[in-house]
Amino acid sequence: MSLKRFIRKHINEYSFKKKEARFIAAMQNINNNDVLKVVIEGDEINFAHTGHLGDIIYSLPAVFKLAAGKKINYFFHLNRTFTYPYQMSHPNGNILMTEKNVELISPLLLNQPGINKCEAYAGQHIHYELDIFRKYPFDYRMGSIARWYFIIYGINADLGKAWLKATPDTSYSDAIVIARSSRYRTPGISYSFLKKYPRLVFVGLPAEYEEMKATLPNLEYRPVKDYMELASVIAGARFFIGNQSSPFAVAEAIKAKRVLEMYYQVPNVLVEGPDGYDFCMQPQFEKIVGMLYNES
């Protein structure tokens, strides 16, 4: 074995053992009674989360399972901060959940059976602090966001089935609906080939739309007032294309016909169940779009 390979081998072994030691130390500092022995009296159950919006949508399978038929009150911690890697930015800046976000997500959640309240946290007693997942020593760049909660609470749900309902807006039945945030873009992927398709509709931020329109001149813009309206547009589309942002979380939750641009460095969004596809290479992207368009 060369000296270089010998050194690399021992560096990798050291890094692996160091990660194991950190994992063990972190687990010893966690009180599992906080998640496994929650006492609930009455017919209502209170959850709290900090967000982002996609995280909230992916938490819902666990929320419905833990609620076990009780009325769900979902509260949001506002204006907590989070630091993104230097190469990424978020529309909220370094703030996770804002009052505007609550206004956006609440109509969709309140439209679901079993959800009783959606509002900002104001000192209510909380049975399940969903942010507790951040205390666990997982590599959050990988796996499935929805399953993090299953691992913590010792539960399971079928993520291949829809966990949100939406009424399709049939005026978009001939359209490919697109959302592409500035984060989680896979290198080497181009959407320019979509210009050959007759109707393309963008949902997302105005700046994202303007950037995409430079590539797709025939692109329509569909602003939405809230996520219930967003879900209706996605549900009514011929099919939906999105990257790892909250519009794709909506598409996954309602099990729309959907295509995910998977970001290879952070593959923590999984497509499960029927009518779902993912890609991180251009030829596969073009093949999937052509196949879905022709079968629709």
Q: Which two tokens stand for residue 19?
A: 């990660």
User: So what's the architecture of 170-295 in CATH?
Assistant: 3-Layer(aba) Sandwich (3.40)
Would you list the domain boundaries of the chain?
Answer: 34-153, 170-295
3-state secondary structure of 73: strand
| End-to-end Cα, the chain, rounded Å | 57
Among 283, 243, 290, smallest CA distance to 264 is for: 243
Q: What is the pLDDT along the chain (296 residues), one digit of tens a residue?
A: 565 565 565 556 667 788 888 888 888 888 888 888 898 999 999 999 998 899 999 999 999 999 999 999 999 999 887 665 545 555 655 677 999 999 999 999 999 999 999 999 999 999 999 998 888 888 888 889 999 999 999 999 999 999 999 999 999 999 999 999 998 999 999 999 999 999 999 999 999 999 999 999 999 999 999 999 999 999 999 999 999 999 999 999 999 999 999 999 999 999 999 999 999 999 999 999 999 999 87
State pTM to two decimals: 0.89
Question: Which residues in 16-103 belong to E strands, given as ranges?
Answer: 44-49, 71-76
